[in-house]
Amino acid sequence: MNSQLLMLDLVRTLYWFDEQLQVRLEALGWGRRGRSQSLILANIANGETRASRMADNLGVSRQAMSQFLTELEKEKLIEVVVDPADRRARIVRFTPESEAIREDAKKVLRAMEDELRTAMGVKDFEALQMGLRNFLGQQVGQ
């Protein structure tokens, strides 16, 4: 029955992407990150700037998120700064020093997408990609 549920296939695929990203970045000399750190970086890359929303997205406490962000700041991957639009708030963003690892991560992710496209076939891959984008685009306004 498990293979019948799309959610489980999506979760396994997310785990595959994250594990392979970690292994391949480690092979390039970047070391490994925990899944929480990896998903935080993915949230930032996806445009999320608020720590509280990232905590909600990952299902962790704000205190845990603060600890993860502190670790990433120490590694100079991110910085937490005053939001220029609301001086009372703070935003999370990548540092200029993180450019090299972000570029390597993009290359690795593109290669992994190519592997998935080859395994699925171009037509099925593009249908999946379009279907997910259509669904997620509909969810934005809800």
Distance CA 61, CA 29 (A): 31
Q: Give the 3-state secondary structure of 46-82.
A: CCCCCHHHHHHHHCCCHHHHHHHHHHHHHCCCEEEEE
Distance CA 133, CA 108 (A): 21
Number of neighbours of residue 84 by Cβ within 10 angstroms: 8
Question: Does the pLDDT at position 7 exceed 60?
Answer: yes
pLDDT in tens, 54-95: 999 999 999 999 999 999 999 999 999 999 999 998 999 999
Distance CA 86, CA 32 (A): 34
Q: Burial-class residue 71 by CB neighbours within 10 Å (0-12, 13-18, 19+).
A: middle
Q: Burial-class residue 116 by CB neighbours within 10 Å (0-12, 13-18, 19+).
A: middle
pLDDT band at 140 (very low <50, low <70, confident <90, very high): low
Please state, for a pLDDT cut of 70, what percent of the chain lies above it: 95
- The average confidence (pLDDT) of the chain is 92
Per-residue pLDDT at 8: 94
Per-residue pLDDT at 4: 84
Per-residue pLDDT at 137: 87
- 55 touches 43 (CB < 8 A): no
Structural domain boundaries of the chain? 33-94
pLDDT in tens, 94-124: 999 999 999 999 999 999 999 999 999 999 9
pLDDT in tens, 79-89: 999 999 999 98
Model-level pTM?
0.81
Distances (CA, A) of 133 to 71, 125, 130: 32, 12, 5
CATH class held by domain 33-94: mainly alpha
